[in-house]
Amino acid sequence: MGFDAELIDRASALLAACRAKGLRIATAESCTGGLIAAALTEIAGSSDVVDRGFVTYSNAAKTEMLGVPAETIAEHGAVSREAAIAMAEGAVSRSAADIAVSVTGIAGPGGATPGKPLGLVWLAGAQRNRQSRAESHVFGGDRRAVRRQAVERALALLSGLAADADPA
């Protein structure tokens, strides 16, 4: 996936906002496969803001790398509010980041189940010593479109976290 000017502008604005407050970012990605981190690191100099990105495509990776309880995945599924929050909180606790975003979803073309349609994406934002937030969307289009919309929404969620954060 190439990054269009709109995504680059959003990523640049997010990096500038984080830089102004001395904030560091981590990402925890499943269905986006590292695209959020890639969009951020497309911008030269992003290393002073981006701490790390976790690509946790499998359930085992979510548990091993981010500490998502296996019970959470078994009870709610990997594509759930609970899993997204655990992923974001795990990214903060297992990094030097102040804020983190997680994304887990069904980008397609397969994978939909009753109650979890194609295009369903859960995102969560976490920051140290604050309540985590989560949101779900059912994005339209093909796999590429779902993933692109998820990246856009993740950048917006991170921007909101940065705006609300106290300077580091």
Average pLDDT in the 27-38 region?
Answer: 98
What is the arithmetic mean of pLDDT over 106-121? 96
The answer to whether residue 113 scores a pLDDT higher than 90 is yes
Closest CA to 97 of 137, 68, 130: 130
| CATH class, range 5-164 | alpha beta
Average pLDDT over residues 37-59: 98
* 144: number of Cβ within 10 Å: 11
Contact, 122 vs 80, CB < 8 A?
yes
pLDDT score for 167: 83
Q: Looking at the predicted structure, is the pLDDT value of residue 148 above 70?
A: yes
User: Does residue 87 surpass a pLDDT of 70?
Assistant: yes
**Residue 2 pLDDT greater than 80, yes or no:** no
The answer to whether residues 75 and 49 touch, using CB atoms and an 8 Å cutoff, is no
Per-residue pLDDT at 56 exceeds 60: yes
pLDDT at 4: 92
CA distance linking residue 38 with residue 112, whole number of Å: 26
pLDDT of residue 1: 53
Percentage above 90 pLDDT, the chain: 95
Per-domain boundaries in the chain? 5-164
Average pLDDT over residues 5-34: 98
